A = this chain, B = another copy of it.
Amino acid sequence: MSGPLLRKLRAGIVGGGRGAFIGSVHRIASQLDGEAVIVAGALSSDPQNARESAAEWYLPRSYDSFETMASAEAAREDGIDFVIVATPNHLHFPVAKAFLDAGIHVMCDKPLAYARAQAEELASIASRGSTLLGLTHNYTGYPLVREARARVKAGEIGQLRKVLVEYNQDWLMEPLELGGQKQAAWRTDPARAGKSCCVGDIGTHAAQLLEFISGQRIQAVCAELSTFVAGRALDDDANMLLRLDGGARGTLVCSQVACGEENALAIRLYGSKGGLEWRQQEPNTLIFKPPGAAPWQILRTGRGETGMAAAAATRLPSGHPEGYLEAFAVLYRNFIADVRRKLAGVPTLGDYPTAEDGVRGLRFIDAAVASSASGAVWTPV
């Protein structure tokens, strides 16, 4: 795991200062396996918040702007090896581009950009191969999500027929944005979030998870987006029919007004030879449903019947629950290993979401919004 360089890698972070839940997530996840240490940051667009946040994290170097940070770190001999982008959506593009242009590898929060053209430009830069661009579609880091993917790929559920994926929350069921809640404000603001709130924020996670596990692409969607909270400019709920390019059919539902739901991402896949079910809130259980009225099997993280893909993402013996941070950290571990490979001049593996997933995400948002605007007509992704 440690690679050819006998030191921890140096990381920087943009965004994620005090009050931003996702900042701490990136901080903990990127350092969890002891393969990297964050040494620099531009933690906020507010200079004082940036400095104080950096001090709280004991960062040696704090910057007032990401542009300064990119050039300064690129110039240092002990500059950062990679940067974490943890800003609101509309800044993903300029920040990621600045660091990629400076030759610094980038791990970016999702969605990859505010709009599809930006995502495609970042993908284009990444495709040149000199710098790595990872995307924290973190749910793919769970061991049992990887187990599910491996089983589908190995043909254990046969020909995929039906998929049911959902991601329901309730945190926007009241107009929080009117009360100044910061995250609610930018997520419901078209100028900062993009074309969609609910589909963009969590629908993309569901879509990406489905494509990750199934190995198929969503070919077309027939979607209805809704806004249930009066006065909100973007959708807070969506229901859609799906067609996958391998012939499967299904639904994707997401909501931020589903009263009582926390973070209920769940996926069910049914094939000609088996079924699979996984729920993010109890992530250490994967149900395998064999055909022929055979009993369901309860697969567990770290348990014998799971395979290499899951094992590589597992740190503890079974029964010691691993959670959201550990899954997030799996992406970082794999990304950091690739940065080490890059530094060592050996081929990378890319075992984490990349710009390609990011472009898919923006295309998915565009298709869903367009389908809904036309009254729910099939729209290719």
Contacts and interface: CB of A to CB of B under 8 A. Distances in A.
Interface of A: 1-2, 6-8, 21, 24-25, 27-28, 31-34, 37, 55-58, 157, 161-162, 164, 166, 168-171, 173, 222, 224, 226, 228, 237, 239-242, 249-251, 253, 255, 257-264, 270-275, 280-284, 287-300, 302-305, 315-326, 375-378
B291 A173 contact: yes
Main secondary structure of the interface of A (DSSP, over half): loop
A270 B259 contact: yes
Given A6-B55, A270-B255, A292-B304, A322 B319 contact: no
A316 B328 CA distance: 13
A321 B34 contact: no
A157 B242 CA distance: 29
Contacts of A377: 376-377
A288 to B, nearest CB: 7
A21 to B, nearest CB: 6
Given A31-B31, A259-B291, A318-B263, A378 B376 contact: yes
A263 B246 CA distance: 27
A318 B161 contact: no
A101 B159 CA distance: 51
Contacts of A1: 56
A337 to B, nearest CB: 14
Contacts of A283: 321
Nearest to A164: B253
Nearest to A33: B28
B34 A27 contact: yes
A2 B56 contact: yes
A281 B321 contact: yes
Q: Which of A33, A37, A293 has most chain B Cβ within 10 Å?
A: A293
A127 to B, nearest CB: 32
6 contacts: A161-B237, A161-B257, A250-B253, A259-B272, A320-B324, A321-B323
Contact of A296 (B56, B166, B294, B298): B298
A259 to B, nearest CB: 4
A112 B157 CA distance: 37
B28 A32 contact: yes
Contacts of A290: 259-260
Given A291-B260, A294-B305, A162 B378 contact: no
Given A34-B27, A222-B241, A249-B226, A293 B318 contact: yes
Given A57-B34, A228-B161, A255-B270, A275 B262 contact: no
B255 A317 contact: no
A299 B296 CA distance: 7
Contacts of A264: 319
